[in-house]
Structure formats: C-alpha cells, structure tokens
Amino acid sequence: MCRLLNPTVHNSFFRRAGLFTFLLFWAAPAILSAAEKISGTLTVHDSLTAPNQPATIEATLTGKSLRTEIPVGGEPIEFLIAGNVVATAMTGGDGRAILSYTPKAKGSVPFTVRVGATSKTAAAEAGANLAVWERRTPIIAVEMASLMETPIAQGPTVTLPGKDAEGRQPMPDAANELGKLTQFYYNVLYVVMEDKAVGTNDQVNAQARQWLKDQKFPIGHILLLPSDPAAFGTKLDELHAAGWKTLKIGVGRTKAFAETFLQRRLDAVMVPEPAKGEAPRKAKVAKEWKDVRKKM
C-alpha cells in the first residue's frame, strides 16, 4: 500500500536538496581552481645596466615532479618595481622568462618577479636588485670570501639555512671600509662562487644577499659564478667587452682571484695577508680591511 508524504515534509526535502545542489555547483569552480594549482619555485638574479639602457632580467620557474624539479613553460611572469608592474613575459620550455626594462636614473633598484594572476602555478615571489651604473664610475670587484673571517676551506661561503649561529662572521672593519670606498667613488661588484655544500645556485645567491644585508655591507651587484677558477676571468672579459671598462681593481682572498686581475694588467689587493708564498708577485697585500684603502 503506497503512503503519501506529508506536503510540508515533501517541500522541505526538495528545498534542502536544491540548496545542496546549488552549493555544490557554486563551490566546484573554486575546488577545481585550487586543484589545478601546482607547487612551483620562482628565482631571479641581479641585473646590471646603465641609465637609459635596457636591462635584461631572467626569471626561472620550476615545478616539482616526484624527486626532481622541472621547468614550467607557458606561464605569465610579472616584473614589479615599487609594487607596480612594469614588464611581463611568458616562460619558455626551459622555464625561463626574459623581461626587459629601461631605467632612467642611476642607483640600485630593488625589484620583484611573480607569477601572473592567470598562472596555474602557485609560487612565491622572488626579489633581486637592478644595478643602474654610469659607465664612467669606477667599479671595484670584491671576492665574497675576503669579507669573511673564517678561511673558505673550513666551511661554506655563506650562512646555511637555519644555521645563523654557525654562519660566517664578517672580517673586522670590512663593512665600514667598503662603505667608505663606495660612498662617493666606487660601485661594488660582489663575486660569489657556487657552493654545493650550501645548496643550489639560487640558494647560494639568496643567502649571499641576505648575509650582506644582515652584516650591513653596501648594496652592490652580486655576480654568482661556477667554481671553475677560469670562470671569473671569462666574466671579467665579458664585462669589459660590454663597456664596463672602469672595472680595474679587485679585492680578494684567493690567489686565483688576484691572478685574474694581474693577468690582465689590472690591480689586485689580497686581504687578509695570505700565507708566505701564496701572494702573486705583483699583488698588493693588506693585513686587514682597514689597510685596504692604503693599497689602492
């Protein structure tokens, strides 16, 4: 025998079913959108240019696949200065996006890169500095190892993640003396060598930037190079060919760094004083950083 539902119960049931269906369809796009986002990492390095000359900024977007990172192509990347988007580009198959920007005035310009709003990748922002230098202003290259108290062979070049207490301490007077050199005369180029003990090149670059900031060194252009001793010589030649011919002196800790300048008939200062016989014949030697200016 068939029993009819009470009309009130009947209507209540269908109202609830309708509400549930509406909420399900309303939430579906958001759930789908969140599911589509993949975890990614965005990295960028410093860039160097002159006023009214285009700067090339290279950002790299990678995603995680099992145990490795893979490049993510076809994603929009935005380049921001002071919170304003000034350039955009798409990542290629190698995950790289090449952005172009032409600054008007000299100085050090902090910038940020981020994925665009339509990106399917969830990635944090990344920041670096755009050095805008007059080509006639003298440039001093400083080997990162010369700024640190502990010899480079006894540990990583910069502070390991989460290991601030075990990080390198700056050489006495290094930040103060370098600040005096850069206040009115020199632009500074920090030369950092890759260090597998610290992490990837992007990690080394980020940690070097943070260490310099924490130790109150003057803002400069960070140049990250392979550990190959010949790498800096190749880069130095490239910089000269690009018009940065006022880079004529280097202050470093290692013999290889000093020889890179001396071989090109440029000046080199070693600090601190190396072991006997370690300094190339024509290199100038400073026992400590407060003596460096006397050697220049």
Predicted pLDDT at 124: 75
pLDDT, position 142? 98
Q: How would you classify the pairing of strands 76-81 and 84-90?
A: antiparallel
For tokens 């880069």, name the residue. Answer: 235
CATH number attached to the domain at 39-132? 2.60.40.10
pLDDT at 152: 47
Upper half-sphere CA count for residue 244 (Cβ side, 13 Å): 21
Domain parsing of the chain, residue ranges: 39-132, 139-295
Predicted local distance difference test score (pLDDT) of residue 159: 44
DSSP assignment letter at 148: B
Residues 6 or more apart whose Cβ sits within 8 Å of residue 97 = 58, 59, 60, 61, 75, 77, 89, 90, 91, 113
Predicted structure pTM score? 0.79
d(CA 249, CA 143): 11
Domains 39-132 and 139-295 share a fold: no
CATH, domain 139-295, list 3.40.50.300, 3.30.70.270, 3.40.50.1000, 3.30.300.30: 3.40.50.1000
Q: What pLDDT is attached to residue 201?
A: 75
Please report the sign of the dihedral spanned by the C-alpha atoms of residue 187, residue 267, residue 176, residue 256: positive
pLDDT score of 167: 66
Whether the bond between 229 and the residue before it is cis, its omega within 30 degrees of 0, is no
Q: Distance between CA atoms of 61 and 120, rounded to whole angstroms?
A: 12
Q: What is the pLDDT of residue 69?
A: 80
pLDDT in tens, the chain (296 residues): 444 445 554 455 445 545 444 444 444 444 434 456 778 889 999 999 999 999 999 999 998 776 778 889 999 999 999 999 999 999 999 999 999 999 999 999 999 999 998 888 887 789 999 999 999 999 999 999 999 987 544 444 444 444 443 467 999 999 999 999 999 899 999 999 887 666 677 778 888 989 999 999 999 999 999 888 899 999 999 999 999 999 999 999 999 999 999 999 999 999 999 988 889 999 999 999 999 999 98
Contact between 162 and 200 (Cβ < 8 Å): no
